[in-house]
Chains A and B, each alone.
Chain A
Amino acid sequence: MGNDASESLTRFRLAESDSALPRHSPIEDEVVSLFEQFHAPVIRYMLSFRLPIADVEELAQDVFLSLFDHLRRGKSRANLQGWIFRVAHNSALKRRLQARRHSDRFVYEPVLSMAATDPAPGPEECLALGQRQQRLLAVVRALPEQDQFCLALRAEGLRYREISEVLDVSLGSVAASLEKSLSRLMRAERA
């Protein structure tokens, strides 16, 4: 076939050897199922801590290993979504604290790419859409951090009660935070 050297390289995929592994326990299957459901939301949420993606991927693995331990010990299964985000939140906070001790570490700073916007509109609409999105994201970045977390958790589908538990604040604080953030976003859209 004449494959070149790069084609002959293959990423080490653990999936290939999955068939050789022993049968999985129901809790393992449950954790993997929750991982499939919440992998992307948890990664997106932890990226709001401005951590490098490599750190975030690693932390996400640890979150689900902790979940396995939690379930295996027979602890509460009530609101596992909230539990996952609470552990993710605390892990990301801790990692960021560690990263700040190494100030030369690369820190992710999100930049909106035009290529990432919806490709369906024409060039001018795309430009306008991109500018509007940039304006909204700029407003979000200017919010106090707690408000950013609140908004990010709501965007990932958490109810107010769950957000209050993740951030350890009152229900009223969540409502007030979201009201403040959305009011600012609406003003930015009208501008």
Chain B
Amino acid sequence: MQNKSVHLSDKELILAADGELSAHRRAGVNKHLETCWSCRERMRSLETTITDFVRARNAELNRLVPPAAGPRALLRARLSQAAAVPPHSSFWQFPLPAARAVQLTAGAVFVGIVLVILTVFESTMSAEGPKPRLGITPGEARLITLEEVCSYQRAEVVSRDIPNDMRQKVFAAYGIKPAQADQFEVDYLITPDLGGTESIRNLWPQPYSARWNAHVKDKLEQRLHELVCGHQLDLKTAQRDIAVDWIGAYKKYVGENTAH
């Protein structure tokens, strides 16, 4: 440990290196470093350590960071969807009554409402089951022509059984235990008739028992097939909408209340 009365402390060196000292103290540190070789060597050693750590960290982590282009395009699409929905207004933006008793009553009522909403939300979420997760299943499509899409009369004609090893990979990616696997169908996010591939990026486990289940999605797939082949919907738009939010796409193209 350095003699603090003569030399700068480690903390002072670190704060100086990070630009976290006051201007006055910083000037004092700089003046000391001009004259003290020992502290200057320690400062250089500190900077070297920081450099080595940052290099090691970046070498380890940067190879895991995906290129930004794909995620950026996905974010653009999700932002467009979010922009179409008006923002929720906040309860707290409204002025509360001045009287304390009224505030407490209002607070109690608010907490009660929140509890009810949370209970309903919880039961609704469990009824809806898991949704495709963008990080695992963003949707993947091959090049396909409109003629090829429309050479089939119905959407499900080109669906195939998914190999067992691929099914296991999908279950593992979503953290579904083998004992629970029979409660799910491994389904295509973008259907094969619209160009969807048999890749883990396009497959996800869809619960049989949830409200938004495989049979409901079949209706959407058929509807999209009809719209695309009827030249009422662009193929890329159909691919994008079913990939980004298939339930939203169902409500948009089939109808809000027809999923029951």
Contacts and interface: CB of A to CB of B under 8 A. Distances in A.
Interface of A: 8-18, 20-22, 24-25, 27-28, 31-32, 35-36, 39-40, 43-44, 47, 53-61, 64-65, 68-69, 72-73, 99, 102, 104-106, 110-113, 116-118, 132-134, 136-137, 140, 151-152, 154-155, 159-160, 175-176, 178-179, 182-183, 185-186, 189
B53 A185 contact: yes
Interface in B189-217: 190, 197, 199, 201-202
Interface size class of B (residues with CB under 8 A): 35 or more
* For the complex of A and B, 10 pairs with smallest distance between CB atoms: A58-B135, A133-B56, A15-B73, A54-B135, A14-B73, A57-B135, A102-B175, A17-B236, A116-B59, A44-B61
A175 B11 contact: yes
B82 interface: yes
B133 A58 contact: yes
Contacts of A136: 49, 52-53, 56
Contacts, number: 207
B70 A32 contact: no
Chain B interface helix/strand/loop/mixed: helix
B57 interface: yes
B4 interface: no
Chain A interface helix/strand/loop/mixed: helix
A57 B54 contact: no
Nearest to B81: A65
B72 A39 contact: yes
Contacts of A32: 72, 75-76, 79
Interface of B: 10-11, 14-15, 18, 20, 45-46, 48-50, 52-66, 68-80, 82-83, 87, 90, 133-136, 138-143, 172-173, 175, 177, 190, 197, 199, 201-202, 234, 236-237, 239-240, 243-244
A60 B71 contact: yes
Given A14-B77, A178-B14, A182-B46, A72 B87 contact: yes
